[in-house]
Homo-oligomer: A and B are copies of this chain.
Amino acid sequence: MSEQYDINAFKNPLFTVDSVLFTVANDTLKVLLVKRANEPFIGKWGLPGGFVDVDTHHDTKQTALTKLKDKTSVLPPYLEQLQVFSGATRDPRGFSVTLVYFALIAEQGVSAHIATVDDVQWKEVNQLHSLSMAFDHEMIIQQAKARLMQKTLYSMLPVYCLPEHFTIGQLKKCIEIIIEKPIQRKSLIRRIESSNMFEALEEKVKSGGRLAQQYRLKDGADIINFERNFVV
């Protein structure tokens, strides 16, 4: 039986926690990248993350949030596990295991902060290939994007890429950027109403035409899953 009490009986794999933080800005899907200050892949762009501090962190989620806060100065409103990526050859230092989280945030609060540093940037997800990224991080981001696209077909997840107050037009555009296809405004309205997740605000807002109704996620509202996908 392989589970020994002696904690050092086995060579442990290298374990890290990384995050794929997405936002939607300038009509494109963007991901937060960090220029690596250490080997391996020093100077290349990679995902924000690092080692668990086993003395102060409660769990790996805290690790992910801590590393993201280091880079952005704020905590993302949505964070879930994506997947573990592992292998004997994906890190030159040896067998490595990376737990990847997948997070969403509105661009507004973050961009002010990262404008002050030069090792953290939003990069367009569809333009990563020209970057030659660290490790297998480009592949990881593509997997995260696929998950985001899929979830967007049956949930309102993209609201976390918008400011707290948003209009149907903004949400529609955000969804269309993520799934790379147009949806019917009417279908979105039906979902907003039937989900019961949102509340309409008093004030309406300018939009280039008729004033638009603003909405916000109700306090404590869960993201519900619809039983059908958008089928565009």
Contact = CB atoms under 8 A, between A and B. Distances in A.
Contacts of A13: 12, 15, 52, 54
Interface in A88-128: 88, 93-95, 97, 99
Interface in A3-50: 3-5, 7, 10-16, 36-40, 50
Interface residues of A, number: 45
Majority DSSP secondary structure for residues of A touching B: loop
B12 A50 contact: no
Interface stretch (A56-64, A178-186, A209-217): A56-64
A180 to B, nearest CB: 17
Given A10-B53, A81-B83, 19 more contacts: A1-B50, A2-B67, A3-B38, A7-B94, A10-B51, A10-B52, A11-B54, A12-B12, A12-B51, A12-B54, A52-B86, A54-B95, A58-B88, A60-B86, A81-B84, A84-B99, A97-B99, A99-B99, A228-B229
